[in-house]
Amino acid sequence: MHNYNILLEADKMPDMWYNIMPDMPVPMSPPLHPATHKPVSPDDLAALFPPGLIEQEASIQQFISIPGDIMDAYRLWRPTPLRRAFRLEKALNTPAKIFYKNESVSPSGSHKLNTSVAQAYYNKISGINELTTETGAGQWGTALSIACSMYNMKCTVYMVRVSFNQKPYRRGLMQTYGATVLPSPSDTTDFGKKILAEMPDTTGSLGIAISEAIEVAAKSGGSIKYSLGSVLNHVLLHQTIIGEEAKLQLESVGEYPDIVIGCVGGGSNFAGISFPFVHDKLKKGKDIDVIGVEPTACPTMTRGAYAYDFGDTAGMTPLLLQYTLGHNFVPPGIHAGGLRYHGLAAQVAHLLKHNVIRSVAVLQNPVFEANLLFAKCEGIIPAPESGHAVKVAIDEAIRCREAGQEKTILFNLSGHGHFDMTAYDAYLNGKLEDYELSDDILKQGLTCLPDIKA
């Protein structure tokens, strides 16, 4: 019997999140206030986030207990299956063992629900009944919509205009869960109005949508909070349930990974699958190759500057020391909308800077070629974002074949592509473009960086 589907019993689900902060090899530079450039205090964050999340953001506790209510919510779809890709291995004729964590089985279709239910919960218990957020491709907006419906909260999603128009089904999905979905830039915020006045035909960007969502929360007098789907430490640590489950599941079949792979937009799914293993690398001397994969169209890690920058376009967020293409940078319209982000979680950037992890950039067409092979072998259509991890997992498996190495590869299938069929259609019809950005374009993006010594 081939054990394709490595499950974990519900009562064996890890009940603590892993926080990488105390394990960092070198101390991290603090987040800075956007106006004063002084280290951000918990009070500075209170307008946007509830106490529970602010505490986690700055926590130096290695493991943080998951409240029972969130455990119950997780059990709606967790533990997720770990799958051994026997058919893919056979198709590649590789001696490598390929495992993937299947986060696509969540009701929202991706890993994003791991943090959205936690964020909704901490807001709810602090008396908040309304959240705002932004979404690009729609995975995050969907996840927050579901979480808010679970906790009977209002949810307003600023959806990047180009996606709002191109993806009516994704929009409908959020509305089905009861969310209000607005195209960004919108005329409901000052920043949105300003952008619309300057560029009436703009397609919008994630940075602009973040600014709008933050503005609504900041001006609400405390009744509305803001929710972010990636980048921040509390988001990364909520996602570590992925890697922790995977570790137990691998252990149950006597395996441990030589290579761990995740795609990287803001960095949360990558952190989720990899940080529990990075822990072993930092603290137990495990030899693991940890790879973050990004698109060449938005090469934050491979070609960005290591610098302090804002998380949004308007410059309202704290400044984080990160890899960045500049907060004004608008990446080409690749289909992996979740990877079209100029910046990076500071924790992921820190590990990259100190060579604990490494990064790879891949083109769009090879990603879809890999996804088609994966779909034919494993049955699942990967989200374009997750496909970046699929592509590099396949590349590594081929390398193993060529070198005759029986390595164990683990990657995160962060979501399915059911709402991205236009992208597959475009690929099948030879209409996908590949983007290699010129040095000039990248240099121009970096002109907006604030002048702060890293």
Residues forming contacts to its own copies in the complex (CB under 8 A) are 1-7, 9-11, 68, 71-72, 75-78, 83, 86-87, 105-109, 113, 146, 149-150, 168-170, 172-173, 175-178, 372, 375-381, 418-419, 421-422, 424-425, 428
Of 63 and 77, nearer to its own copies (C-beta) is 77
Shortest distance, position 227 Cβ to its own copies, whole Å: 17
| Residue 428 or 452 having the CB closest to its own copies | 428
Number of Cβ atoms within 10 Å of the Cβ of 436: 9
| 151 and 120 Cβ atoms separated by less than 8 Å | yes
Longest CA–CA separation in the chain, Å: 63
Q: What is the 3-state secondary structure (H, E, C) of 195-215?
A: HHHHCCCCCCCHHHHHHHHHH
CB of 448 to its own copies, least distance (A): 38
The encoded tokens of residue 415 equal 């979501």
Closest approach, Cβ 277 to its own copies, in A, equals: 24
- Nearer Cβ to its own copies (72/190): 72
Give 90 or 283: the residue with its C-beta nearer to its own copies.
90
Contacts of 161 (CB under 8 A, 6+ apart): 183, 184, 185, 202, 203, 204
Least Å distance between CB 224 and its own copies? 21
Which CB sits closer to its own copies, 78 or 111? 78
Q: How far is the CB of 258 from its own copies (least distance, A)?
A: 24
In angstroms, give the least distance from the CB of 10 to its own copies: 5
Nearer of residues 246 and 288 to its own copies, judged by Cβ: 246
Structure-block tokens of residue 222: 């405390």
Minimum distance from residue 170 beta carbon to its own copies (Å): 8
CA neighbor of 353 nearest in space, from 227, 454, 214, 276: 454
Whichever of 169 and 256 has its CB closer to its own copies, that residue is: 169
Write out the DSSP string of 231-269.
SSHHHHHHHHHHHHHHHHHHHHTT---SEEEEE-SSSHH
N-terminal to C-terminal alpha carbon distance within the chain:
54
Distance (Å, whole) CA 216 – CA 141: 16
* Cβ neighbourhood burial of 146 (10 Å; 0-12, 13-18, 19+): buried
Q: In terms of CB distance, is 86 or 435 closer to its own copies?
A: 86
The DSSP line for 334-371 is -S-GGG--S---HHHHHHHHTTSSEEEEE-HHHHHHHH
261 vs 251: CA distance, rounded Å: 18
What's the min distance (Å) between Cβ of 66 and its own copies?
12
